[in-house]
Amino acid sequence: MTDWSPFTARAKDWFESLRDAICAEFEAIEREAGSEAAFAYTPWQRTGVGAESGDAAGDLGGGVQGLMKGKVFEKVGVNVSTVHGSFSPEFARSINGADPENPRFTATGISLVAHMANPHVPAVHMNTRFLTTTKAWFGGGADLNPPLPYAEDTAEFHAAMRAACDAHGADYYEKYKAWADDYFYIPHRKVHRGVGGIFYDHLECGDDAAWEANFAFTQDVGRAFLAIFPKLVRRRMGMDFTPDDKRQQLEWRGRYAEFNLVYDRGTLFGLKTGGNIDAILMSLPPEANWA
């Protein structure tokens, strides 16, 4: 059986370096807007247990929650965590490769959600992760969530994701775009959460070569996000907006909250495994309306 711990350490290092680059760029945008806002970083340890965790109390890993509230970024969270332990037998049945008889797991990843002050600036989500059970795999993606969509922004965001995909698989973009369209959908509203992006999961690593290939793809997704999203923010952050624009943004945020609380796998995973509640729920908007 492969010892995945060195690979987990490499993935963790990458996620932390990506966080640092993203947060520096977001703080630079705040400076351009005349704001001194900066990220506050809060370390946390997973020493308790979740309702579906098979763990006894102890050192089970942890992470760092990064949070900034500024002039451009009304609320943005960038979290990195690396946790390990055991699933409960029941929850293990829902996780790729998790055997109820061998429910051990490790998980490391970065998770980002940005809610913007100006309704013309799209909100965004990005998450990439590496997990091991009896198998090892990567997952993640990025999707754009504009309250006031612009075709230009949507096209450029998708072009960036396509470029990251095309470098690794001729069918990656179409496959992972379709997966995002299916996943980021609110069935009870019969609407998509935003204008999509890419979503992939269970990109399995059967050997070292597969791990390296999947890791390279995951890195390129992160680089593509870092290249395109700040560009969109700078394009829209100085635009004037009306009370109706703000109303539409707040109502749209309600839809975003509904998806994350009812359907999102990451929220469920964090809650079921005893993660940090504030970090798990950092995706929720600072203010929302339901008409």
Rounded distance between C-alpha atoms, residue 82 and residue 63, angstroms = 6
What would be the CATH architecture of the domain defined by 5-283?
3-Layer(aba) Sandwich (3.40)
Q: pLDDT, tens digit, for every residue of 116-161?
A: 999 999 999 999 999 998 899 999 999 999 999 999 999 999 999 9
DSSP H stretches of helix in the chain: 5-32, 89-92, 151-166, 172-183, 208-236, 243-262, 265-272, 277-280
- CB 130: neighbour CB atoms within 10 A? 28
Query: Which residues are known catalytic residues?
Result: 125
Q: pLDDT, tens digit, for every residue of 137-146?
A: 999 999 999 9
Q: pLDDT, tens digit, for every residue of 246-272?
A: 999 999 999 999 999 999 888 887 777
Q: pLDDT, tens digit, for every residue of 187-210?
A: 999 999 999 999 999 999 989 999
How many Cα neighbours within 13 Å face the side chain of 276?
A: 21
The reported pLDDT for the residue numbered 157 is 98
Longest dimension (CA), the chain: 59
Angle between helix axes 5-32 and 208-236 (nearest 10 degrees) is 10
Tokens of 250: 């707040």
Q: pLDDT, tens digit, for every residue of 220-231?
A: 999 999 999 999
Provide the whole-model pTM.
0.92
